[in-house]
Amino acid sequence: MLEIKNLNKVYPNGYHALHNINFSVPQGEFLVVIGLSGSGKSTMLRCINRLHDPSSGEILFNGVDTTKLKGSALRKIRSEIGMIFQHFNLIPRSTVIANVLSGNLSRTGIFKSIFGIYSAEEKERAMKYIDIVGLRGKEKNRADNLSGGQQQRVAIARALMQNPKILLADEPVASLDPATSHSVMQYLKKVNEELGVTVICNLHFLSLVRQYAHRVVALKAGKLIYDGKPLEINEEWFKTIYGEDAVEVTIN
Amino acid sequence: MQKKISKVKNKNVQMVKAFILDTLAWAYIALVSYKVLYDKIYIENRYPEFAWKQPLYALYFGLAAAALLFFTNFSLGRGSLGLIKLRDDEKATTKPFAFIGYLLIILTFVTGFYVSQVSLKEFFSSQGLEGAKRIFTALFHPNWSIFEQGLFAAIETIYMAFIATAIAIPIAFILGFIAARNLMTGNPVGFFIYTALRTVLNVSRSIEPLVWAIIFSVWVGIGPFSGMLALCLHSIASLTKQYSEQIESVDDGPIEAMTATGAHPVQVVWFGVVPQIVLPYLSYTIYRWDINVRMATVIGLVGGGGIGNLLMQYQGQARWNEVGLLVILIAVIVWTMDWASSVIREALK
């Protein structure tokens, strides 16, 4: 459903972040992207929903090249791609339900959303997703008063509110403790298996990768150097991806 | 390679700056020494003549001195820009160029005293003390019979300040987005609008409300309206600057998240930017009202209406008992506003 062809990204300052990336993601896959910080993982994810504009290449999303889209067509594609972030990026000072409802902005009119007029159907759906991420009873709480793991679950519910075909997760557990990391990964797994949403997730910990990924791609200095099964990443591959001096740290 | 060239270029620019600084410093020393130390103090010339050739000669002297001493340790410019290499055990404050700096400060002090005609003789003269006693006695015996008149004028002042702030808020709210660097400088058109607006705001802010009040009192006539216009204009300029700085410092995260949901740019601003700026905005706005009340009393002095106007009238007639009452009223208002605004702003945190 997602096909990336010869993707290149050069930043205005001349930094070449991505070199000729090629891969495709079938419907329903849980794909994990690994690599060192600065290897281009975040840039690649942001090219998919055009938070960054690729310099050249094609990104085919259900057959549509997203790299050329503008205005409302671009917003339409973005609404079908959910995204969660390392720092959650929730709306500050707002309740859980207001945050989840904001996932539906592309389908709510501008004035309706500004005055906070949401239909019963929208509220019902928001409650359903709050339920799915296990936050029932907290919908009226202010989101920024929740714990890190709970905030990330609000972010997942917000992404689900978009009814996404694909979910991008940019290091979703990098600012969480190990126990909470597993809980958030479990919810992503649930979204992938029960709702059939394709997931592309950037991760740092190989132990999480082995546990949750169907398939792994690895980036190094903006080049795709590995594409395969998570369990096939042996000592040798590990050293290639992370450098000679790297030691694997596990998270349980 | 490119970096190296730019570094060399940078060094040259620094050297030029240092030389200009040296020239100006020496010229200043020469001019002030001549005009104050020689002309005023030494020959006690009460009305020294001014001629354009004097600063010109000073500049020549500055150029010559700078050229002569540029590569010695007496170069203030090179010293202050860090172009004079110091050993680890040396302090910049004891080097010769630092003493040139001290000389500048001392000369400026001496000049300042002469220009503002500081004279302790007059301060402690018997006639002067007599006058001070008279006015202080009157001020401490306020005339309470004009209390009602003063109170109404004070209310006028507070409402004038309130309306000036209230009108400024929506205008500054919109201009704040246009004057925010991070939202506007993405394309050339935006950058042009941003620069133009910033320039207009800076100019109007740098003109004191007092001056605006004088302008408007000629335009719309003496009274509260001209004072209100002056305060309003100044508030718009100040609030827009504070608002836009707040927008410039917002966290990009929520903006990114809202963009990623496919929201319209208006929605992105409303949900990604506005929640982050509401509280600081309120805080700035209340503080601005507080400032406006204080300014409104002063603006009354030049015909902007309210309690300041009344103060001016009684002061003109030398009725110090009445002035005393008005001063008390103003002090109470300012103190109350100050206290209220700090309590509200504290509660908003």
The residue that leads in pLDDT, B126 or A130, is A130
Beta bridge partners of A169: A84, A201
Q: What angle do CA B25, B28, B32 make, to 5 degrees?
A: 145
Strand partners, A18: A9
Contacting A with CB below 8 Å, chain B residues are 253-254, 256-264, 266-267, 270-272, 275-276, 278-279
Domain boundaries, chain A: 90-163
How many C-beta neighbours within 10 Å does residue B44 have? 8
- What distance in Å separates the CA atoms of residue B256 and residue B250, rounded to the nearest whole number? 12
Phi, psi of B341 (to 5 degrees): -70, -35
pLDDT attached to residue B196: 92
* Average pLDDT estimate for B4-21: 77
Q: With cut-offs at 50, 70 and 90, classify the pLDDT of residue B9.
A: low
B254 contacts on A by Cβ (under 8 Å): 89-92
Q: Which two tokens stand for residue A61?
A: 């999303």
Interface mutation target, options B261, B267, B270, B278, chain A, most CBs of A under 10 Å? B261
Q: pLDDT tens track of chain A, all 252 residues? A: 899 999 999 988 888 889 999 999 999 999 999 988 888 899 999 999 899 889 999 999 988 898 888 888 999 999 999 999 999 999 988 999 999 999 999 988 888 888 888 899 999 999 999 998 988 888 899 988 898 889 999 999 999 999 999 999 999 988 888 888 888 999 999 999 999 999 999 998 888 888 899 999 999 888 998 898 888 888 888 888 887 777 777 766
Average pLDDT, chain B: 85
Cα–Cα dist A59/A79, whole Å: 16
Taking only the tens place, the pLDDT of each residue in A142-195 is 988 898 889 999 999 999 999 999 999 999 988 888 888 888 999 999 999 999
The interface pTM score, or ipTM, of the predicted complex is 0.90
Q: Which chain A residue has its CA at the smallest distance from B259's CA?
A: A51
Q: Count the helix, strand and coil residues of chain B and give each as a percent rounded to the nearest 5.
A: 80, 0, 20
Q: Residue A191's CB: how many other CB atoms inside 10 A? A: 25
Name which of B258, B266, B275 is nearest A110 (Cβ-Cβ): B266
Q: Is the pLDDT of residue B5 over 60?
A: no
Query: What is the set of domains in chain B, with CATH numbers?
Result: 2-121 (no CATH), 139-348 (1.10.3720.10)
A215-220 and A64-65: which strand pairing? unpaired
Chain A contacts of B276, Cβ < 8 Å? 92
**pLDDT tens per residue, range B13-22:** 888 888 999 8
Asked if A173 and A180 count as a contact pair (C-beta separation under 8 A), the reply is: yes
Q: Which residue has the tokens 């100040």?
A: B238
Tell me whether residues A91 and B254 touch, CB distance under 8 A: yes
Contacts by B274-280, CB closer than 8 A, 24 or more apart: B275/A91, B275/A92, B275/A93, B275/A94, B276/A92, B276/B250, B276/B251, B277/B243, B277/B246, B277/B247, B277/B250, B278/A93, B279/A93, B279/B348, B279/B349, B280/B246
* Alpha carbon of A155: minimum distance to chain B alpha carbons (Å): 9
Query: Which pair of tokens denotes residue B280?
Result: 């600081």
**CA–CA separation, B78 vs B97, rounded Å?**
9
- Which residues of chain A make contact with B259, given a CB cutoff of 8 A? 51, 78
pLDDT at B235: 92
**For residue A199, what pLDDT is reported?**
94
pLDDT tens digits for range B185-225:
767 888 888 899 999 998 988 888 888 888 888 888 887 88
CB burial class (10 A; 0-12, 13-18, 19+) of residue B335? exposed
Residues pairing with A200 in the sheet: A31, A168
DSSP run (H or E) holding A168 = strand A166-170
Minimal CA separation from B279 to chain A, in Å: 10
Tell me if B126 sits within 8 A of B306, measured CB to CB: no
pLDDT one-digit tens code per residue, B257-295:
999 999 998 899 899 988 988 888 888 888 888 888 888
Q: Does A89 touch chain B (CB under 8 A)?
A: yes
> Searching chain B, which residue's CA lies closest to the CA of residue A103?
B261
Contact A91 B267 (CB under 8 A): no
